[in-house]
């Protein structure tokens, strides 16, 4: 099972962060989505889903706008879910494992995007010759091959060799550090939400953020309820404004 999980996770990170399919990859890169196949391999779908959902929470609002990504939720999930399944770690504790890997994954993306300039220059040369097949290789085959080398070995080795190490490590690392990492896990989602507010970029609508925030704090409504109320508020304001304009 260790081998199968290591293989699956290695392939998952390779395929996921190769970003095939503009929004398809944005789905399969989510810890909560990969939890299902990992859970099937490990024979415990329920626990896997719980771990996946806990890790997913950290990355909920993260948006990769422009050239830089705030964290690599795909690597975070590919490492933390299999290892948590193998070591029987508590779903909430898996977050402490996910956080550092989520940060490490950012470097991989930077290396990838730096190196791939080489393929762009190669594509220029092929275009000069009118070589269509060559450009197609630069657009698909070369990036995929590079991605395999950059991604697969790391995750495969980390899980195949690392599960034992992690278990021993968790026994020896001091209490304050595990506590610190779990504090990080529950604070880091703030970055994602802040990025989204920044991207939406409409300061005059900020009171809606406050309404949403305290609707949950005081009334304890669920995400689904928030989506329903939020949609109605947004529609009401749009329609009322339209009515005002028609006058």
Region 53-92 residues binding another protein, contact defined as CB under 8 A = 53-54, 56-57, 60-61, 63-71
**189 lies in the site for another protein, by CB under 8 A:** yes
> For residue 113, how many C-alpha atoms fall within 13 Å in the half-sphere facing its CB?
12
Of the pair 160, 230, the CB lying nearest another protein is at 230
CB 80 within 8 A of CB 101: yes
| Binds another protein by CB under 8 A, chosen from 171, 172, 202, 244 | 202
- E-assigned strands of the chain? none
**170 lies in the site for another protein, by CB under 8 A:** no
Residues 206 to 235 in contact with another protein, rule: CB under 8 A: 206, 208-218, 221-224, 226-227, 229-231, 233-235
Number of residues lying near another protein (CB under 8 A): 117
**30 lies in the site for another protein, by CB under 8 A:** yes
Q: Least distance (Å) from another protein to the CB of residue 43?
A: 14
Q: How far is CA 43 from CA 34, 89, 156, 160, 243, in A?
A: 14, 15, 19, 18, 57
**106 lies in the site for another protein, by CB under 8 A:** yes
**195 lies in the site for another protein, by CB under 8 A:** yes
- Beta-carbon neighbour count of residue 226 at 10 Å? 15
Phi, psi at residue 43, to the nearest 5°? 80, 20
**25 lies in the site for another protein, by CB under 8 A:** yes
Q: How far apart are CA 98 and CA 53, in angstroms?
A: 12
């Amino acid at each position: 099972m260790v081998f199968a999980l290591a293989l699956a996770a290695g392939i998952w990170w390779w395929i996921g962060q190769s970003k095939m399919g503009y929004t398809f990859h944005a789905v399969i890169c989510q810890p909560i989505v990969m939890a299902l196949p990992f859970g099937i391999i490990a024979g415990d779908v329920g626990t896997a889903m719980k771990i996946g959902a806990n890790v997913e929470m950290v990355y909920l609002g993260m948006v990769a706008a422009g050239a830089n990504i705030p964290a690599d939720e795909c690597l975070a999930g590919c490492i933390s879910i299999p290892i948590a399944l193998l070591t029987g770690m508590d779903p909430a504790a898996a977050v402490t494992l996910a956080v550092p890997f989520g940060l490490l994954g950012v470097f991989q993306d930077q290396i990838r995007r730096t190196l791939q300039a080489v393929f762009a220059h190669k594509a220029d040369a092929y275009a000069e010759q009118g070589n269509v097949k060559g450009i197609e290789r630069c657009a698909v085959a070369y990036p995929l091959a590079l991605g395999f080398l950059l991604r697969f070995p790391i995750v495969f080795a980390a899980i195949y060799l690392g599960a034992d190490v992690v278990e021993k490590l968790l026994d020896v690392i001091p209490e304050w550090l595990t506590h610190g990492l779990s504090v990080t896990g529950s604070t880091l989602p703030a970055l994602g939400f802040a990025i989204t507010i920044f991207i939406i970029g409409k300061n005059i609508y900020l009171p809606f953020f406050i309404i949403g925030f305290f609707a949950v704090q005081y009334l304890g409504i669920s995400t689904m309820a928030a989506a329903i109320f939020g949609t109605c508020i947004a529609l009401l304001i749009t329609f009322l404004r339209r009515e005002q304009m028609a006058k």
